[in-house]
Structure 1
Amino acid sequence: MKAHKNFRALAGLAGMALALSAQAAKAEDAAPAAPKEFTVTGSVSVLSDYRLRGVSQTDRGKTLQAGVTVTHKSGFYGSVFSSNLAGWGTFGGPNLEFDLIGGYAKAVGPVTIDAGLTWYMYPDGAAKTDFAEPYIKVSGAVGPVSYLAGVAYAPKQKALGNYSNTTYSYGQAYDNLYLWGDTSYVIPSTKLKLKGHLGYSKGNPGLGPNGTSVAPTGSYFDWQVGGEYPVGPFTFGVSWVDTDITAAKSAYLQPNFSVQNGRLKGASIAGSTALFSATVSF
């Protein structure tokens, strides 16, 4: 009789152990996977125009762009970005922009702080065209609205200074400041995202290599409003882009500041336009 009771007690303990083991296994399966050491993301886009801070870098023509970002679980990341160029902003060679970006992003309470540096390169282009630009961004969300505010400041560099076509020499180094804010809102029960952007540039009002400048008229505003919609692996976007750079403000930049070829020849490269895009991300 005693042995029978002991057997029942052992059976009960075994049953409890099996139940606890099953619960532990279930909890382990439900637990989120540990973050990967590195994550890789990227995208390839086709756009009707490449607007850098409101100014066309492709002579108001189409562009193909690609980028890849590698992020460590600590928050450090590195990116590369590339785009074709035409007209204003080209420096000879293959007429390509190739950017190297490195930074660190960390969540601090309800916001994410992101600080880094972009190195703008123009492979095989004219001398003194590459420049470095540190930046800091703060992003977050208030209800359904996401926001981002950023400051990019390029310290004094000869690539941002004046260039003399008569002596083929570079003048003093110059700096450049860009302030911007972005916001977005996804319409409830849809996938449609509305987006807005406002930026302010202040820098060299003269002409750099090949008659270009990061802040063409010294200081100006640019803005963009539009939306995007995902369809399968693609995201399609349309927006309206403009600046407050008038014909009078850009008169001393001509003919460089006008479209050089095609049906829009002679039009401002900072004028308002509808911008269309198709992006596939991975």
Structure 2
Amino acid sequence: MNFTYLAAVLAALPLASPAVAQDAATIDVSPPTELRAAPTGPVTVSGSVAMLSDYRLRGVSQSDRDPAIQGALTIAHDSGFYVGTFASNLAGWGTFGGANLELDAIGGFKHAVGAVTIDAGLTWYMYPGGADKTDYAEAFAKLSGTAGPATLLAGVAYAPPQQALGKWYRNGVQAAAATYSDPGDKEDNLYLWGDGAVAVPNTGLTAKAHIGWSSGNSGLGPNATSAAPTGKYWDWQLGADYAVPGTPLVLNLSWIDTDITRREAAYLQPSFSKGQDGRGSIANGTVLASLTASF
């Protein structure tokens, strides 16, 4: 896809306030930090359950391009402080040293200042049952607001140097052979993103867009994974939600892609391919479908 054209399209679309995580719009499938619920007192409990055709985190499949089931729960106080958790099954590339589950702990503070809402906190990514040195922590900050019918959001997420993000392997061949090039290496990771959404009147549809930029190590970590496997890359997503009338269900259909080239993907294979046997990149563009029920 021509990136200049894509950027022009995104500039013309609203960037949305997410009902999901620190690094994506509602159309993305990243871990959520807030979910809709009607307040009933000083403490609000909300959550969701979702079925997805693929679990993509920043454009890269965490479920080996296979379906995923996810759940989230958030407990928020009217002071603005909240805690939450997110869980998803993993497979293939997403085994993260043997784990078949991602379980995140999230905490933060959200506060409105005039027309702008500030949301900042920390996500701890955990992979129960996986190998050592897989878990890592990442701080995030988001600004969101509205402009006419559009909802806009800009965010930054930063993970300080940690072994899980280090460049232990230079390429996928070393990772497949379990031959470390720099064991114990610690690297950081930066993610910048913008989200947008605009409701289509009288249709139940909400058009959405997301664009993000990752900067991290250009190799693979201790368990042949990485938050930014090619060092620096762009990811984007265009799609729409449909709120099913009279139900808590939301159907999403969108296109998700990255600018990770065939050559860059080959450099990381077989660890960066479906089935980890070289059968294509897990960052290729794809149509993504999801069905979410919120409470």
- TM-score scaled by structure 2? 0.80
Q: Distance in 2 between matches of 1:233 and 1:34?
A: 16
1:192 maps to a residue whose letter is L
Q: What number of residue pairs does the alignment pair up?
A: 248
The alpha carbon displacement at 1:35 in A equals: 6.2
1:79 maps to a residue whose letter is G
1:70 matches 2:75: yes
Which of residues 39, 48, 60 is equivalent to 2:44?
Answer: 39
> Counterpart of 1:204?
217
Query: Do the aligned residues in 2 keep the contact of 1:91 with 1:209 (CA within 8 Å)?
Result: no
SS in 1 for 2:210: strand
> Counterpart of 1:250?
265
> Counterpart of 1:118?
123
- TM-score scaled by structure 1? 0.84
Query: Do the aligned residues in 1 keep the contact of 2:99 with 2:131 (CA within 8 Å)?
Result: no
Q: Distance in 2 between matches of 1:215 and 1:93?
A: 20
Q: Distance in 1 between matches of 2:292 and 2:110?
A: 24
Which aligned pairs between 1:49-88 and structure 2 lie closer than 5 A?
Answer: 49-88=54-93
1:225 matches 2:238: yes
SS in 2 for 1:214: coil
Residue identity (%): 59
Q: Distance in 2 between matches of 1:244 and 1:77?
A: 35
Q: Distance in 1 between matches of 2:40 and 2:202?
A: 30
SS in 2 for 1:171: coil
> Counterpart of 1:170?
183
> Counterpart of 1:213?
226
The alpha carbon displacement at 1:168 in A equals: 9.1
Gaps of 5+ in 2: 1-37, 170-177
Q: Distance in 2 between matches of 1:73 and 1:148?
A: 22
Q: Distance in 1 between matches of 2:149 and 2:122?
A: 30
Q: Which runs of 4+ in 1 moved over 3 A?
A: none
Q: Distance in 1 between matches of 2:187 and 2:168?
A: 11
Q: Distance in 1 between matches of 2:203 and 2:159?
A: 40
Gaps of 5+ in 1: 1-32
Q: 1:34 to 1:141 in 2, by over 3 A?
A: closer
Query: Do the aligned residues in 1 keep the contact of 2:96 with 2:225 (CA within 8 Å)?
Result: no
Q: Deviations over 1:91-120 (max 9, x none)?
A: 244411000000000001111000000000
The alpha carbon displacement at 1:45 in A equals: 0.2
> Counterpart of 2:289?
276
Which of residues 157, 162, 166 is equivalent to 1:157?
Answer: 162
- Root mean square deviation of aligned Cα: 1.9
Q: Deviations over 1:162-205 (max 9, x none)?
A: 22533597332100000000000001222100000000000011
The alpha carbon displacement at 1:261 in A equals: 7.7
Which gives a bigger RCO, structure 1 or 2 (Cα 8 Å, sep 6+)? Answer: 2
1:236 matches 2:274: no
SS in 1 for 2:223: helix
